[in-house]
Amino acid sequence: MAHIPVLLEEAVHQLVQSSDGIYVDGTFGRGGHASLILSKLSLNARLIVMDKDPLAIATAQKMMSTDSRVMIAHQSFSQIQATLGEACAGQVTGVLLDLGVSSPQLDEAERGFSFMNDGPLDMRMNPDQGETAAAWLARVSFAELREALKTFGEERKAGRIAALPSFVKRLKHLARSEKRDESRLGSLQYGMSRRLQGPINLLTLLPLWSPEAVLRNIQRREPFRQSVSLSIKS
């Protein structure tokens, strides 16, 4: 499936206010936004592209490594200040963050995001860092599971669900996506909110893609955030 950025023209139109500016695409993905941004910049401008996903960075290298205006960084957008350095950070004209998973990540079964294809339950933006979703589920404590369900799944009955031995047992033995269907997790009709009845969306269990986690990353860079323009496309 081809990756088609949503609101591409609108987001870039709002972002690029000066053709000579310094811009950051903090979530390069497959380069849709970055390519359009670059087309609107002069030879004096700079574009810094960042992504945690090594496949996204490989795409950036193929597309833009020969353009002297472009700097490519294999980093999370939370590392913008460290990547640019104090001197450059204060001069940034605008930052674009296209938050969430992209269609190539959903299409590749081995990444563990797919609801349609069998694959290892990885779910890491950078497969070379951190623990997999399967490893997290295997070791998760009651308190961690309750907090994940409550905070990231917005589940009102998080404590009741996390305390169910049969539910936790199924989660701890879930190592592959396998369409995340009821043959793996069972009915899960435990009096929980209707939204979580039936097959459970494991994305709600992990603090990887939540708005809260994203905002924490941004808020950690409060001084820097005040010096740049954030263009966030939902």
Q: How far apart are CA 184 and CA 179, in angstroms?
A: 9
* Tokens encoding 63: 């597309």
152 and 176: one domain? yes
* Tokens encoding 85: 């350095």
204 and 110: one domain? yes
Q: pLDDT by residue (tens digit) across 64-91? A: 999 999 999 999 998 888 888 855 766 8
How many domains is the chain built from?
2
Band (pLDDT 50/70/90 cuts) for residue 189 is: very low
Q: Is 174 within the bounds of a domain?
A: yes
* Domain coverage including residue 110: 105-208
186 and 140: one domain? yes
Full DSSP string of 166-214: HHHHHHHT--B-GGG-HHHH----SS--GGGSSS--GGGGSTTS-HHHH
Q: How far apart are CA 31 and CA 34, in angstroms?
A: 5
Q: Is 1 within the bounds of a domain?
A: no
Band (pLDDT 50/70/90 cuts) for residue 95 is: very high
pLDDT computed for residue 150 by the predictor:
86
CATH assignment of the domain containing 30: 3.40.50.150
144 and 110: one domain? yes
Q: Is 112 within the bounds of a domain?
A: yes
pLDDT computed for residue 24 by the predictor:
95
Taking all residues of the chain, what is their mean pLDDT, rounded to a whole number?
76
158 and 69: one domain? no
129 and 204: one domain? yes
28 and 96: one domain? yes
Q: pLDDT by residue (tens digit) across 140-154? A: 888 988 888 888 878
134 and 84: one domain? no
Q: Is 160 within the bounds of a domain?
A: yes
Average pLDDT for 197-207: 43
Q: How far apart are CA 93 and CA 178, in angstroms?
A: 44
The pairs formed by 77-80 with CB atoms below 8 angstroms and a separation of 24 or more are 77/24, 77/26, 77/27, 77/50, 77/217, 78/217, 78/218, 78/220, 78/221, 79/50, 80/24, 80/26, 80/50, 80/221, 80/224
Q: Is 3 within the bounds of a domain?
A: no
Q: Is the pLDDT of residue 2 over 50?
A: yes
